[in-house]
Amino acid sequence: MNNSDPIVLNGTSLTRAQLVAVARHGAQVTLDAGQLEHVRRAADFLADKVSCGEPTYGVTTGFGSNADKLLGAHRVRDELPGSRVQAPEGTLMEELQHNLITTHAVCVGKPFGADVVRAMLLIRVNTLMRGHSGIRVATLEALTAMLNRGVVPVVPEKGSVGASGDLAPLSHLAIVLLGGGEAFYQGERLAGAEALRRAGLQPVRLSFKEGLALNNGTAQMLATAALALDSLEYLLGAADLAAAMTLDAFAGRSGALRPEVHALRPHPGQVDGAAHVRSLLDGSTLVDIPYHLVPRFKPWSAEAWDTPEDQALSFDIGWDWVPANQRHGREAFYSRFLPFKGGKKHQPQDAYCLRCMPQVHGAVRDAWAQACRVIDIELNSVTDNPLIFPDAENPQFIEDQVISAGHFHGMPLALAMSYVKAAIPVLASISERRLNKLVDPATNDGLPAFLTGNEDGTDSGFMIVQYTAAALVNDLATRAHPASVYSVPTSANAEDHVSMGANEARHVLEMMEDLGHVIALELYTAAQALDYRREMLNAARRLAARGDWQRLAAKVANAPREDHPHYAQFVEEVQRLMAALAEGEDFHPGASVRAAHAALREHIAFMHRDRAMDGDVRTACGLLQRRVLSV
């Protein structure tokens, strides 16, 4: 979508992609002229009912627990003895709407980012375009102009219970429209009236129900949820990429990714995740490599290599030979594979963090998809109260056309985001387990301990990277408790069950950063492991290509002596190993993994020896945050 083309809002067709374009990329919006007629009809209907003297909730009555109080024709407080409070301009009904906004703007905490606030403005405009809220066209156009001209109200993060909608944060949004509060304009934090003035806008005086239309809805929880899901969509792809790079670094097995496997348990996310990782690994000559070809890491020594090219390596390689008298019961295995143990374990399956990746990533993908379904409905829903039906057939009473309902209640969003919140540490945890497997010499299939040569015992390598990932996973897990299960009644128990959906969605949005950090740390570590694996395999291939079986035999730790009865068999099998290595093409990862690895290496060099890693870590996290890596 070209951001120069304004997005037309009609209340029924707003998408998550359009929300992201407006919130994060500054796209402009315009209002559908035909739909504005429905907005005007509802406002005119409401004005007509008020002129007839019919009582209407939130228009001629108070709000919440004050709903039983009808507004009078004049201010009783003006008659109080000693009253020195100057009466505000306008009618009691205008004062009611104005006070609703000014008294409800009581949030605390640091301000939301501009992307969240812009998303809130967009959502509010779109839902009001449905024509069931009673707002005037002029007020709706003023709200739209504030969005398009870059006025970003200061909305502190905390203060909504998610029913009656996001009253407090939406009041911070609306108070700027009245010339109050604070707003950011061109990066500067200003008084609301000054921000409007600099943007060439005028404050608005609210009419019937307009305050309630502006602050009664789910815009904060919906904005944070939609932006979180946009981030999670990218991170799901990045997690698949990290898993694919790790699988290549392990020279792992692809059987658990095959389509016929997942056809037997066809959860959509699982099927899609397996297919995505298969595509990322396409072209790999590392995955499914025969066991006997994979050497294990040995510390560098001056005598390890005999050519200038290989003498530049910072490692040695080796295998163990399996003598004939130790192959009993494994004859079928050794008819397929040569009797050499290198780095790759002789087993037909990988660890769960690799083998079960489609199931785990897929379950998180399904949680994301379910939340998307809920958010897509909410983006084009009316969420304030009461609802106005000016065209209702055969109305007998105003209650037939102005109906109090509960669309402001955020529980649909809250429970969807609870599901996502529980899934986030799951995705982070399996990523950390893969990272840990890469650095642990007991589990990394022949790679060096902590992915460094450590010839002199002075290097820690990537050991502490795993500590950071572990700390992040723990932090995410402790934040995963659902807010939606704990309702705290408000408004003198008139609002006796609330969703806490604003907290839920805000938590999920905040957790995206740390989830991204964990995945970035896996990619950073996997790139190092992949370099070692490729270099070790290709060094073995170059050695074999020279045809010197004796030099290759010297890499076998328990080679028999010439007077050993099995020496001739050993020589024949070493020569077969040499031929198998020499015949192989250059060992490399899948094309997409190779591209991601190259992008990482443009910014972060391979770590031959210990160095300061803080810059590397910041860079890796920044690449993911900026979505530099194609997933």
List the catalytic residues: 57
Question: Which is nearest to 228 in space by CA: 16, 3, 519, 15?
Answer: 16
For residues 167 and 305, what is the distance between their CA atoms, to the nearest angstrom? 72
Q: Which two tokens stand for residue 553?
A: 């035999």
Looking at this protein, which amino acid is placed at residue 435? L
| 258 and 358 Cβ atoms separated by less than 8 Å | no
Asked if residues 197 and 389 have their Cβ atoms less than 8 Å apart, the reply is: no
Residue among 373, 201, 317, 385 nearest 581 (CA): 317
Query: Alpha carbon 281 to chain centroid distance?
Result: 23
Q: How far apart are CA 548 and CA 398, in angstroms?
A: 97
Three-point CA angle 287, 289, 292, nearest 5°: 150
Pair 502, 222: CB distance under 8 Å = no
- Burial profile 375-386: b = 16 or more Cβ within 10 angstroms, e = fewer: beebbbbbbbbb
DSSP 162: S
Helix (H) or strand (E) holding 185: strand 182-185
What is the rounded distance in angstroms from the CA atom of residue 237 to the CA atom of residue 242?
9
Q: Which residues sit opposite 185 in a β-bridge?
A: 151, 188
Residues in the chain: 631
Q: Which residue reads 């990218």 in tokens?
A: 234
In angstroms and rounded to an integer, the radius of gyration of the C-alpha atoms of the chain is 33
Angle of helix 591-603 versus helix 219-249 axis, rounded to 10: 100
The answer to whether 448 touches 297, Cβ cutoff 8 Å, is yes
Is-contact 103 357, C-beta < 8 A?
A: no
CB 430, CB 350: distance < 8 Å:
no
**CB crowding 406-418: b at 16 or more within 10 Å, else e:** ebbbbbbbbbbbb
Would you call the peptide bond into 386 cis, given omega within 30 degrees of 0 as the criterion? yes
- Distance CA(256)–CA(350), nearest Å, equals 9
What are the backbone dihedrals phi and psi of residue 451, each rounded to the nearest 5 degrees, phi first? Answer: 60, 40
Q: Answer whether 155's CB lies under 8 Å from 57's CB.
A: no
CA torsion 594-600-601-605 (nearest 10°) is -140
SS3 state at 556: strand
In whole angstroms, what is the distance from residue 581 CA to residue 539 CA? 10
Looking up tokens 């209907």, which residue turns up? 45
Helices in 312-443 by DSSP H: which ranges? 331-336, 352-355, 357-378, 411-439
Q: What is the identity of the amino acid at 144?
A: T
- Contact between 466 and 441 under an 8 Å Cβ cutoff? The reply is no
- With vertex at residue 192, the alpha carbon angle to CA 188 and CA 195, rounded to the nearest 5 degrees, is 50
Task: Give the pair of three-digit tokens for residue 137.
Answer: 């066209």
In this structure, are residues 459 and 453 in contact, taking their beta carbons and an 8 Å threshold?
A: yes
